[in-house]
Structure 1
Amino acid sequence: MGLLGAVPLLLLSCITFFLALLWRSHRSRSKLPPGPTPLPFVGNLLLQVDIRDLIGSFHRLHQQYGPVFTIHMGSRPVVVLCGYEAVKEALVDHAEAFGGRGLTTGLENDLNNFGIITTNGERWRQMRRFSLSTLRNFGMGKRSIEERIQEEAQFLVEALKKTEGRPFDPTFHLGHAVSNVICSVVFGTRFDYEDKDFTTLLNLISQIIQLVLSTKAQLAVCFPELMRIVPGSHHRQSEYEEELVRFVSKRIQMHRESLDPNCPQDFIDSFLTKMEQEKNNPASEFHDKNLMASVLHLFIAGAETVSTTLRYGLLFLLRYPEIEAKVQEEIDRVIGRNRDPCMEDRSRMPYTDAVIHEILRFVDINPLGTPHSVTSDTHFRGYTIPKGTTVFTFLTTVLRDPQHFETPMKFNPGHFLDEDGAFKKSEAFLAFSAGKRVCPGESLARMELFLFLIMLLQNFHLKKLHDGEEVNILPQKQSAGNHPRPYRICMVPRNKA
């Protein structure tokens, strides 16, 4: 057979091999929920899923396949849950089965399997239990942490007064204020806004968040082996994390030198005390790597998300001045302008409470949630999801579920108010997820948003740079997250009553 005769045979062999792979892939996923047929190696990434716009891609697949569907991110199957009913059924009704943590990064990292967020099994249970109890003992939901937030809110107000009503980008001030609350809990101290070490810490966290949400980071999850050798910005994540580790290591060493086991002052002191108590237990999870990872998780998950939500909240109020006016009327009536707000005020401020809930709903800061995985072979809605399969809870479709929110695509505090103007809960309000993996910092985040926002509106009017200017509230496009576009604002001091 000549060379020309061999070409068709080779082509036929390739096609046969390709079809065999497709058939084998279909057989392996036949009990999974429906979804588009994947290609070998790339899965659905070329035809059905745009890695640069996961949110838009998932919306289209939701419309085509319904509330539960399967996609392949590279060679890995991923089950996607959409709408309140499916997400609630999985995370609440089948909490144990869907309580695992899915793969969050494809990059090598010494701390990937430690801490609170990225772990599973007994390690996760111990770290979560310890973190919740420690934060609670240091005031999460109690007055001591409330006083720390109130104090930081005063520092923030004084810093904003220095702008004298001139235009500025609020990112710097809000990021520093929220991060200082975490610093007070973790390190036992706050930092001056101009402190170089503090600024370096916040810049590192911001860079890590941007990289995690980038297209290349998503590709690293899908193709970890390939992306390890492909040059690009995604490799900087490890570099930034190493710098962050060095920063935190110095603080931990300082705590070791000053530790009084009988009187722990903060999270690090408490962890070090627990390490000493369990030093003779070879199975103890209280060691340096879990301490370092837990501290990093508290910062990255707590500081960035709350400050971004506040920044988005100010943008919404800038867009809707009539809502700002109603909140300020309620503040003046319930609190006045001469005392600091406290959490006891919330029950008497239904409109403000509704606005904050609507900010959290509409911001939709983490549309896909943090990946889950099933802890065993799981039967769900007539399908079988194999143990270890990654599960995305498409929280956008919950927070904007038209069956639970009358105008889901519009910023409307009325979603959380009844006919009499009293605050009304919504079962579809899952801004912090649900079930075993619900955000451990939910109580702290709610307290920060309430106290910071009220303190700002108690002291300032929000003003656009130019009258008649249309405020753009559409998010800055990112592959897997929602962040506000950069903007400048004027904050004009209100006179004391």
Structure 2
Amino acid sequence: MMGVQALLIALLVALLILVFLGQLWTRRHYPPGPLSLPFIGGVWRFGIKLHEDTFIKIAKQYGNICCVWLGHQPAIGVSGFQAVKEVLINHAEAFSERPPSPFVKAVGRERGILLSNGHTWKQQRRFAVVTLRKLGVGKKGMEHQIQEEAQQLVEIIAHAKGQPLDPSLPITNAVSNMICAVTFGHRFPLEDEKFQKLIDALDIALKFPGSISFVLYEMFPWISKHLPGPQKRALTAFQFVLSFAREEIEKHKEQQSFHEPQDFIDFYVLQMEKSKNDPNSTYDEENLAQCIHDFFLAGTETTTTSLRWALLLLTNRPDIQDKVYKEIEDVFGSSRSICYEDRKELPYTNAVIHEMQRSKYVLLFGGSRRCSKDVKVNGYLIPKGAFIFPDLRTVLSDPKVWKTPEVFNPNHFLDKDGNFVDREEFLPFGAGARVCLAEQLARIEIFIVLTSLLRAFRFQQPEGVEKLNPDPVIGFTCQPHPFKICAVPRCCSL
């Protein structure tokens, strides 16, 4: 009997060895990566907690194109400017899909723009791009709304009268209201209870994808979706954003204002009417709600976090802050509002803003993709169906590209004569087919809000604080630790 048991064990071990060797053979042309263990794949390499440099360390060990197995799913990490350019730009079509992972399916529902694919994605994205142009993104009308919101923010911060304040909530409110102006045609007061619930829901939702709980959900969804924990809270938060959007859609339908469209919902409802007899149309209320959901997910947190990082960096570097203020005053004084076009006359200010986005990239890595066909990149086979993780953080800190990648240095975007230099390697908004569709809106928001704040205040550390913490809190977005600053008015009129 013992001999039979020993034989069975030996056969099982031999079978496992043969399976392992078979995997090595079939994957011999794949990019290198950490050892893939049964069930968990190479996830063990991440450790128990993700860090800002987790993917950078993996790239250093295995190369700029490496493979980390998520269970039985190959996930290809792409790092550094040249590798990311090769994948996202030179092979844009092959890497234009979003991976239909369990979490993406649960949140995206194969609708909207951010997480959809195929005909739905193409039609919804094309409509969004055209409609944003119609609404004036990049034109004087939209800039005027952003300037008004920036002035509201200045007035709210001025109420602190130079005492320590946390700028997070007023900045979040201002940026979110800019999205509301585009999508709903109106803003919300800071004290609006339901609006603040929306902000809280976005915060919960966007912290989850950067957690180990997220990885476990992706690997074992059949178990995770039935258990309490962060995944339940995150999915509830995503549903709240959708419910918020649906309520606004209902209000617009009751008002029947779509025949003279003033906002994204109006234009979309009008398009639904025009396309109701088109069998290939994807224009419906659920796609509209998902598009609005996507605008908030992609636009509010990222722009808010960028502005918070800007204030933290400039508070820690008063010399740079004062130089920006002097340039603005020398060129414009206090005679008029600054518009986005004015950035051409403010090379140092423009360089500081770009360097802030480079040195404090707000995402843990770029948006994930899926390979739609077998592709060879740098000699490696990237198989059809593989998940792709373009690590834009490594592009923005690539030592082959940036002179001092670990340092906040505006000279990265200036020539020897002090003129602004646009860099091909500056990719905080992504690249290729999935480049951020609201990139222009985000650039305008950051420029106008930041210059408005720096004209109005000098930002300082509270008494007794030598330096604000420059290390990020890691989630899907990399946010600064909570901080307080003193916004000292630059003139007595505030």
Structure 1's 222 and 335: CA in aligned 2 closer, same or farther, altered over 3 A? farther
Q: For the Cα contact (< 8 Å) 1:378–1:386, is it kept in 2?
A: yes
Write out per-residue CA displacement over residues 363-419 of structure 1, whole angstroms, 9 at most, x where no aligned residue.
111132010111212122222222221111011110001111100000000000000
Instruction: State the 1:336 CA deviation.
Output: 1.4
Aligned position for 2:485: 489
Secondary structure at 1:209 match in 2: helix
Q: CA deviation at 1:108?
A: 5.6
The residue identity in structure 1 corresponding to 2:461 is: K
Distance (Å, rounded) in 1 between the aligned partners of 2:168 and 2:17: 52
- Structure 2: distance between partners of 1:54 and 1:241: 25
Deviates more, 1:94-103 or 1:396-405: 94-103
1:465 and 1:489 in contact (8 A); partners too = yes
Residue type of the alignment partner of 2:152: F
Report Cα offsets for 1:151-197 as digits up to 9, x if no partner: 10111111111111111111101000000000000000011111112
Q: Is the 8 A contact 1:103 1:371 kept in 2?
A: no
- Alignment partner, residue 12 of structure 1: 10
| Contact kept? 1:98, 1:373, Cα under 8 Å | yes
Q: How far 1:58 sits from its partner (Å)?
A: 2.2
**Which of 265, 268, 279 is matched with 1:268 structurally?**
265
d(CA) in 1 for partners of 2:52, 2:43: 13
The aligned counterpart of 1:462 is 459
- State how many pairs are aligned: 493
Q: Which residue of 1 aligns with 2:74?
A: 77
Q: Secondary structure at the match of 2:299?
A: helix
Establish whether residue 200 from structure 1 lines up as the match of residue 197 from structure 2. yes
2:122 aligned partner: 125
- Partner in structure 1 of residue 404 of structure 2: 407
Q: Who is 2:275 aligned against?
A: 278
Deviation at 1:75, TM superposition (A): 1.6
Pair 1:24-2:22 in alignment: yes
Mapped partners of 1:376, 1:353: distance in 2: 40
Alignment of 1:128-277 (within 5 A): 128-277=125-274
* SS class of match (1:235): helix
4+ residue runs of structure 1 moved beyond 4 angstroms? none
Residue pair 1:104, 1:371 contacting (<8 A) in 2 also: no
Counterpart AA for 2:327: E
Contact kept? 1:364, 1:431, Cα under 8 Å: yes
- Cα separation, partners in 2 of 1:298 and 1:107, compared to 1, 3 Å: closer
Matches within 5 A, 1:269-348: 269-348=266-345
Kept after mapping to 2: 8 A contact 1:80/1:393 = yes
**SS across alignment from 2:164:** coil
Q: SS where residue 280 of structure 2 aligns?
A: coil
Q: Which amino acid aligns with 2:356?
A: I
Secondary structure at the aligned position of 1:219 is classed as: helix
- CA deviation vs aligned residue, 1:293-351 (integer Å, no higher than 9, x gap): 10000011101110011001100001111000000001111221242211121100000
Aligned to 2:57: 60
Taking the aligned partners of 1:54 and 1:476, their CA distance within structure 2 comes to 9
Using the TM superposition, give the Cα deviation of residue 90 of structure 1 relative to its aligned residue in structure 2, in angstroms: 1.2
Indicate how the Cα distance of structure 1 residues 33 and 108 shifts in structure 2: closer, same or farther if over 3 A, else same. Answer: closer
Gaps of 5+ in 1: none
2: CA distance, partners of 1:488 / 1:122: 46
* One of 21, 45, 55 as aligned partner of 2:43: 45
Offset, 1:149: 0.3
Cα RMSD for the two superposed structures: 1.8
State which drifts further: 385-394 or 258-267.
258-267
Distance in 1 between the 2:273 and 2:484 partners?
Answer: 49
Equivalence for 1:446 = 443
User: Per the alignment, in what secondary structure is the counterpart of residue 316 of structure 1?
Assistant: helix
Amino acid in the other structure paired with 1:24? G
Q: Which amino acid aligns with 1:423?
A: F
Q: Return the alpha-carbon distance in structure 2 between the equivalents of residues 489 and 326 of structure 1.
A: 19
Q: Matched residues, percent identical?
A: 39
Check the 8 A contact 1:97/1:376 in 2, yes or no: yes
**1:474 Cα offset (Å):** 1.1
| Equivalent in 369, 372, 375 of residue 375 of structure 1 | 372
Question: Contact 1:464/1:490 (CA < 8 Å) preserved in 2?
Answer: yes
The answer as to whether partners of 1:45 and 1:73 remain within 8 angstroms in 2 is yes
The AA in structure 2 aligned to 1:31 is H
- Is contact 2:205-2:234 (8 Å) kept? yes
TM-score by length of 1: 0.95
Aligned to 1:384: 381
SS in 2 for 1:212: helix
What secondary structure sits across from 2:452 in the alignment?
A: helix
Provide the rounded CA distance (Å) in 2 between the counterparts of 1:57 and 1:367: 9
In structure 2, the CA distance between the partners of 1:110 and 1:282, relative to structure 1 (3 Å rule), is farther
Shift of 1:202: 1.2
Q: CA deviation at 1:123?
A: 1.2
CA distance in 2, matches of 1:232, 1:467: 39
Counterpart for residue 113 of structure 2: 116
Q: What are the Cα deviations for residues 56-107 of structure 1, in whole angstroms up to 9, with x where unaligned? A: 4422221122111111012210111111001111111111111112246537
CA drift of 1:10 comes to: 4.5
SS at match of 1:300: helix
SS in 1 for 2:488: strand
Change (3 A) 1:54 1:452: same
Q: Is the 8 A contact 2:50 2:211 kept in 1?
A: no
1:141: Cα distance to partner? 0.9
The answer for the alignment partner of 1:417 in structure 2 is: 414
Given that 2:207 and 2:477 are in contact with CA atoms closer than 8 Å, whether structure 1 keeps it comes out as no
After TM superposition, give the deviation of residue 14 of structure 1 in Å.
Answer: 3.7
Letter in 1 for 2:75: V
Give the AA of the match of 1:266.
D
2:107·2:238 contact (CA, 8 Å) conserved in 1?
no
Q: 1-side partners of 2:12 and 2:232: how far apart? A: 35
SS of alignment partner, residue 376 of structure 2: strand
In 2: Cα distance, 1:349 partner to 1:92 partner? 30
Residue 33, structure 1, aligned to residue 31, structure 2: yes
Shift of 1:51: 5.5
- Give yes or no for contact 1:22–1:39 (8 Å, CA) kept in 2: no
